[in-house]
Chains A and B, each alone.
Chain A
């Protein structure tokens, strides 16, 4: 976690504050939901180094292929490097096949890398997209390198606060608009409670028609309690 050129005995030092020595992490809330015809994915936009927000407008929804995205949580460097590597591998595979790649293939590539290097990596990734064979799919690849398909998946440090909300409010067969509202509200709740999540809510809808992206800015976030 710490760069080696800093003496770890004396890390508390006013001259070189905490955030100059910590690794950049996307302490985060990410989410993905399947619906008939596609998927809705969402993420917050905060990247932290210790207690400092290094980037308050991060885009954690990274395109892997035309209709396949991944939501990144964990170490920023690790997830960016993994996403770049998988983007290359999937692009090559797609050209070989002369076909749109399967979401499951993308998820498998993530899993291969995250499991093989599990001791060195800190990456929690949700892979979501649309392919012609199986439609909208969400696969989660948490820290450790397991891979499983889920109709709805949440991840990141802020996800702990919204498991209850997601479990009680998810219904199978929701429409695209319902999924968007569900995701936005869940993310807003997590961002309210988790210090490592915040900024804007980034949403994307992936379907046969393509990708539609939107951002919900601070003042437009769904509000819940007045306390």
Chain B
């Protein structure tokens, strides 16, 4: 008896170039009619987090894009969940904003009910159960970090609702650039300054090598009893100063002759 008759696609690993030909044909067809195909609307981003000796450090860039245009040059991607738990968000900006606010609200009520400081694992459970319920239609990819009675913890949460508990994570379109930095320099039990430098460099790698990420670097250092929300931690892209000036003094160009024309405009 066959286990299933449906097509099993999940075990296809490696690179798949199947759709390139089809996409090219579709593009050509659409262009022939004079239209251009719609662009994906996402917030390219670099977010990351690292667990160090005393807690966690979360980092994020500050660029929000709408297609190929920068919609916000300095948006805040590190969201408050509870006094000891913060969450970076990549993917659809509205989804990350609302999802984190909903869970933050529920977590505050839960915390009042238990009479205890909320746990990072609780926030993780709530987020993953909500995202799974929506089967990936809520495009929120999150890096959740905090310190609770169990110690410092870091989770990565994907839009379909799967989570990974790890010592260092990156998300967003710039995640590969940031992960390269982490894989090279991460060590367990780092000191705070080293951890902050590592996260700063990882986000910088995303900012300078990924078109979807840019502007400044925000950091959030969470330890037992203290949170340092450093916004901005590093202004990596200062707006340039104009070297020339196109303003001219009055009288630079002389009037040589005067002509007066009377025009009648019927109202």
- Could you list which residues of chain A lie within 8 angstroms of chain B, going by C-beta atoms? 1, 3-7, 9-13, 15-18, 20, 23-25, 27-28, 47-52, 54-55, 57-58, 74-78, 80-81, 118, 120, 122, 142-144, 146, 156-157, 194-196
Shortest Cβ distance from residue A40 to the other chain B in the assembled complex, whole angstroms: 23
Known contacts: A6-B42, A20-B173, A48-B13. The answer to whether A75 contacts B4 by CB under 8 A is no
Shortest Cβ distance from residue A196 to the other chain B in the assembled complex, whole angstroms: 3
Residues of B within 8 A of A12 (CB): 19-20, 23
Q: Which of A23, A194, A196 contacts B136 (CB 8 A)?
A: A23
Residues of A within 8 A of B37 (CB): 7, 9-10
Indicate if the CB atoms of A77 and B10 lie closer than 8 Å. Answer: no
Indicate if the CB atoms of A27 and B12 lie closer than 8 Å. Answer: yes
Instruction: Give Cα A118–Cα B8 distance, bound, in whole angstroms.
Output: 12
Indicate if the CB atoms of A27 and B10 lie closer than 8 Å. Answer: yes
Shortest Cβ distance from residue A140 to the other chain B in the assembled complex, whole angstroms: 9
Residues of B within 8 A of A16 (CB): 40, 42, 44, 173, 212
Indicate if the CB atoms of B166 and A55 lie closer than 8 Å. Answer: yes
Top 7 closest pairs, chain A to chain B, by CB: A157-B11, A196-B13, A144-B4, A76-B162, A195-B13, A77-B160, A77-B162
Shortest Cβ distance from residue B35 to the other chain A in the assembled complex, whole angstroms: 11
Known contacts: A3-B139, A15-B44, A20-B172. The answer to whether A142 contacts B161 by CB under 8 A is no
Q: Which of B3, B11, B14 gathers the greatest number of chain A CB atoms within 10 Å?
A: B11
Count of chain B residues with Cβ under 8 Å from any Cβ of A? 51
Q: Which of A3, A15, A24 contacts B162 (CB 8 A)?
A: A24
| 19 contacts across the A-B interface (CB closer than 8 A) | A3-B136, A3-B160, A5-B95, A6-B139, A7-B37, A9-B38, A15-B212, A17-B176, A20-B175, A24-B160, A75-B10, A76-B162, A77-B160, A80-B163, A81-B132, A144-B5, A146-B1, A157-B10, A196-B12
Known contacts: A75-B160, A196-B13. The answer to whether A5 contacts B41 by CB under 8 A is yes
User: Given A7-B39, A47-B162, list of 8 further CB < 8 A pairs?
Assistant: A10-B37, A12-B20, A13-B40, A23-B158, A24-B160, A77-B136, A195-B13, A196-B13
Residues of A within 8 A of B1 (CB): 146
Residues of B within 8 A of A55 (CB): 156, 164, 166
Instruction: Give Cα A44–Cα B176 distance, bound, in whole angstroms.
Output: 22
Known contacts: A3-B136, A27-B13, A75-B10. The answer to whether A15 contacts B158 by CB under 8 A is no
B252 interfacial contact with A, CB 8 Å: no
Residues of A within 8 A of B38 (CB): 7, 9-10
Residues of A within 8 A of B26 (CB): 9
Interface flags for B1-35 (1: CB within 8 Å of A; 0: not) read 10111101111111110011001001000000000
Residues of B within 8 A of A1 (CB): 9
Indicate if the CB atoms of A15 and B211 lie closer than 8 Å. Answer: yes
